[in-house]
Structure 1
Amino acid sequence: MSDDLRPVRILPETECWDLLSSCSLGRLVTSVDGAPEIFPVNYAVQRRTVLFRTAEGTKLVSTAINRNVLFEADGHNTAEGWSVIVKGLAQALSTDEDIAEAERAQLLPWTVTDKPHYVRIRPVSVTGRRFMFGSQPDRTFTAV
């Protein structure tokens, strides 16, 4: 069976970055008080890193305390879907140079709130899958 017809296909890293660059809403997974937490964030891809903005609060504190994070984004149409996961290290940007570079991404908050802090996720690994939608295949049951 050709790779294009397989119901689940593992994506090369370059395609993962192309897909991440094609959308702007994902989920940040981190740890808060020793328990996993997930936060929706709007983001931008900049130099093969994930960049998001946040206000003071749980996201900013949790990424400072536990830099190891996951980031996931996905998309779909009527025929297929995809999912990309970035395992990485989160860092709040603090130097004028880093902040100036982040501002060039033109990442605006979606809500009418002040989100003055930029956080960059530097990837340790990037994985992705594409899923073909369709009916469940017929099963053949045999008696043993």
Structure 2
Amino acid sequence: MLDHEPMTQLTEEQCWELLEKHEFGRLAFHLVGEVHITPINYTVDSERLVFRTAEGSKLLGVVMNDDVAFEIDDIDDEQATSVVLRGTAEVLEGSDRDAVDSLPLRPWVDTSKSIVVAIKPSEITGRRFELHRPWLQSRPEDDEQ
């Protein structure tokens, strides 16, 4: 048994640091009475998330209902971290969209994604968990093959 709490809440500042460190997460959105989750690559821009997309269900979902959630996670042998951001999505147009060209945001897949969406957060939370996985000790070492 641990003599301390294995889970800690992250501060908002720690959450933003993790969001800035990563560039891949999952977007949850509503579409025709269902909740959808899709992976996206993104960047942080002035305490908002920005991503590129093309015509399709993701764009249709955020246009029809701008209430979205976004999540990143990080896991290793000793700890797991999760950050969840809830907020509103907005399609950027004109000079707002053009300003995103100076950010480090390019499609990972070689397709045209000229539509830019920003997520303005209404809530951001994060937690870090100390993992207790004793079975990892019994894994063979990589160099013993």
User: TM-score higher than 0.5 here?
Assistant: yes
Q: Give the TM interval when normalised to the shorter protein.
A: 0.7 to 0.9
User: Is structure 2 residue 142 aligned with structure 1 residue 134?
Assistant: no
Aligned length, in residue pairs: 131
Matched residue of 2:18: which SS? helix
- State the superposition RMSD in angstroms: 1.2
Unaligned 5+ segments in structure 2 are 135-145
**1:1-144, aligned counterparts within 5 Å?**
6-95=5-94, 97-135=95-133
Work out the CA distance in 2 between the residues paired with 1:71 and 1:9.
Answer: 20
Work out the CA distance in 2 between the residues paired with 1:129 and 1:65.
Answer: 31
**Superimposed CA distance per residue, residues 27-63 of structure 1 (whole angstroms, 9 cap, x where no aligned partner):** 0000111110001000101111011110111111110
Match of 1:26, as an amino acid?
G
Normalising by structure 2, what TM-score? 0.86
**Superimposed CA distance per residue, residues 109-140 of structure 1 (whole angstroms, 9 cap, x where no aligned partner):** 0101100111000000000000111159xxxx
Matched residue of 1:40: which SS? strand
Match of 1:121, as an amino acid?
I
Normalising by structure 1, what TM-score? 0.87
- Runs of 4+, deviation exceeding 6 Å: none
Instruction: Give % identity.
Output: 37
Unaligned 5+ segments in structure 1 are 137-144
Work out the CA distance in 2 between the residues paired with 1:87 and 1:26.
Answer: 13
Work out the CA distance in 1 between the residues paired with 2:98 and 2:66.
Answer: 22
